[in-house]
Each structure stands twice: as C-alpha cells, then as structure tokens.
Amino acid sequence: MATTDRHATTLALAHALSAAERGLAVIPLSRTKLPALRSPHHEDPQPVLCHGECGRLGHGVYDASTDPRRIRELFAAAPWATGYGIACGLPPHHLIGIDLDTKSGTDASAALRALALRHLFTIPDTVVVTTPSGGRHIWLAGPADAVIPNSAGRLAPGIDIRGAGGYLVGPGSRTEHGVYGTAPGTAQLPPAPCPPALLRLLTPPPRAHHPTPPPPGNPPSGNTPAGHPDTDAQRGQGLVHFVLAAHEGQRNTRLFWAACRAYENGIGETLAPRLTEAAVRVGLTEREARSTIASAARLTGHA
C-alpha cells in the first residue's frame, strides 16, 4: 500500500475514534464512500439475510460501533480504508443527516430555507460537514421513538435524508473527490435537536389502506382476477424489477415506492424479502432496505 494511503488510513482511524468518543458509532469507508469491508456472504449461492449474527465483519452499518477495540479491529481488517461512516438513528444522538446536494442542478440550501419559512422552523446551531463537491451535511438529533427513513429528493429537490439504516461520511474522511471537513465553528457542537416542524416533514404519516385498482380498460392479463396468485406474482415481479433498475440517488425512492405499492395491493409481507434482496443488489445495505420497507408499511397502515 502506498505511503499516502497508510497515512490516510491512520488519519481516518484517528477521526473515527474521536467521533466514537462523542457517542457516534462508526465503520471504515473506502475512497468510494462505500463500506470498506465486503459482505462475508457475497459468494453464497443464496442471498443471506444476516445482520452480523454470523460473527464475521462486513455487514455495513450493522458493524458500526463506539468501542475503540472494535473500531481498531474493523480498520485492521480494511487497511485500504481512507474514511469512516457515522451510522444514523442510533443512541444516544439518533442522528439525522440533512444532505444538501450540489450535483442535482438545484439550490438545495435555498430549498431548505423555503421549507423553513413555509413550515415555520429554523435550523439550530449544529454540526455542519462540508463535502468536496461543495455540499453540506447538517447533523440533527432525533427523538428515541422516531424512525426517520432514508430518502432522496422527497423533502425537496437536492435534499437527501440519512436516517435509520443510513450513514454519513465523517469529517476528515478522504474520498476520490477530496476531503470532508467541518464548517467553521461547528466541529465541537453537539448534534442539535431536530425542530418539531421539520421532524413532522421527515416522518411519513400513517394512512388508511386503499388497494390500488387496475387502470380503466387494463384488466389483469389473461382475465385473472385481482388477488389471484398468478396476478400477485406478476405484480410482485414488476415491482422487484423496478427496484433493480434503480441508479445511485434513486434507490431509496424506488424501493419506497415499490414497497408502498406492494402493501397497498396486499402483497407487502410476501414481497418484502425479495424487495430487500433487490435493494441490496443495487447498493443499499440490508438495514437501509428494511428501514425503508418498514416506513412504507407504516405509511400504508400495515405496521
């Protein structure tokens, strides 16, 4: 390994240990911002839904820890790591990340200000992480009983949310595009409580179950009645393919939409494992996928 990489790994470990002292659970990341350790099940012939019960490393945010010995073990297993991720939604902070993107062609900061004016909230003084592309990550603390789903562009164009099952790239991490830092005067601040009005926007409200009827003039193929196993299988396969076609930046959105449609059509519980598998195949962690599907279940009144 090049000397510069060893130096980057050493710095990343130091920053990760410092974050852990603040109660933030961390994992090592590669230069691509993905978890540095590959799943130990990637060569298994059948998909394995494991959250680390196997005792091996490589389960994404399920590996996240505040234990210095565990963190050193993770980085020792990934000597190519040049950054670290901070798991969201975990105690004591129950971190929520507001990711203001600059690559979408929209002014995400202006969109957040407009939301704040419309819904009468202000972003408190808190940790703000700067990204190499000029974006910002705003750290907020959520209540212990709230599960905030990950989303991309749902709140407003250019605003992504990192919640339960997601992670934020920690300041001091080096990626392919540069180094993450902190905005002046925010590095030592604790994550501030999320304003209640913003929290309501981030929490999908429950709604009654209303099965989606087929479009007029388009009955189920083969004159198969709705609810028939063949129809459910075809509909489920279409939703799975919809998730598999997702690109980076739309994976959570597609998964959430597909899961909502599945629950609305009475096949949510049956299809959830296949949707999870599809989401993992396109790059989400299993925890992210399960959290998004659970949010869809709550939104459609099935949780």
Which pLDDT value is given to residue 288? 85
Between residues 73 and 258, the one the model is more confident about: 73
Q: What is the pLDDT of residue 249?
A: 64
pTM of the model: 0.67
pLDDT tens-digit series, residues 264-286: 888 989 999 999 999 888 888 88
Q: Return the pLDDT at 76.
A: 95
- The more confidently predicted of residues 236 and 270 is 270
pLDDT, tens digit, 9 for 90 and up, residues 122-149: 999 999 999 999 999 999 999 988 889 8
What confidence tens digit (pLDDT) does each residue in 163-176 have? 988 999 999 999 99
pLDDT higher than threshold 50 for residue 217: no
Q: Architecture of domain 94-164+177-202 in CATH?
A: 2-Layer Sandwich (3.30)
* pLDDT tens column, 28-66: 999 999 999 988 887 777 766 777 778 889 888 989 999
| Residues 142 and 94 sit within 8 Å (Cβ to Cβ) | yes
pLDDT of residue 220: 40
The 3-state DSSP class for residue 53 equals coil
Residue 183 in this model has a pLDDT that exceeds 90 = yes
- The confidence score (pLDDT) of residue 296 equals 79
Torsion of CA 99, 195, 157, 259, to 10 degrees: 90
pLDDT value, residue 2? 42
The pLDDT of residue 108 = 92
Q: Over range 202-226, report the average pLDDT.
A: 50
Average pLDDT, the chain: 85
pLDDT interval class at 94 (50, 70, 90): very high
H or E stretch including 27?
strand 26-29
What pLDDT was estimated at residue 157? 87
Cα–Cα distance list, 197 to 20, 27, 118, 200, 280 (Å): 29, 31, 10, 5, 32
CB atoms within 10 A of CB 216: 6
Q: How many CB atoms lie within 10 A of CB 301?
A: 13
b/e burial code for range 264-290 (CB count within 10 A of at least 16 → b)? bbbbbeebbebbbbbbbebebbbbbbb
Q: What angle do CA 223, 228, 232 make, to 5 degrees?
A: 105
Residue with tokens 């459910």: 232
Of 42-51, 81-90, 238-247, minimum mean pLDDT range:
42-51
Q: What are phi and psi of 7, to 5 degrees?
A: -65, -45
Of residues 45 and 211, more confidently modeled: 45
DSSP 192-235: EEPPHHHHHHHSPPP----PPPPPTT-PPGGGPPTT-HHHHHHH
pLDDT tens digits, one per residue of 97-124: 999 987 767 789 999 999 999 999 999 9
Output the pLDDT for position 224.
40
Q: Summarize the confidence of residues 202-216 as an average pLDDT.
A: 55
DSSP strands (E only) in 46-131:
83-87, 95-100, 128-130
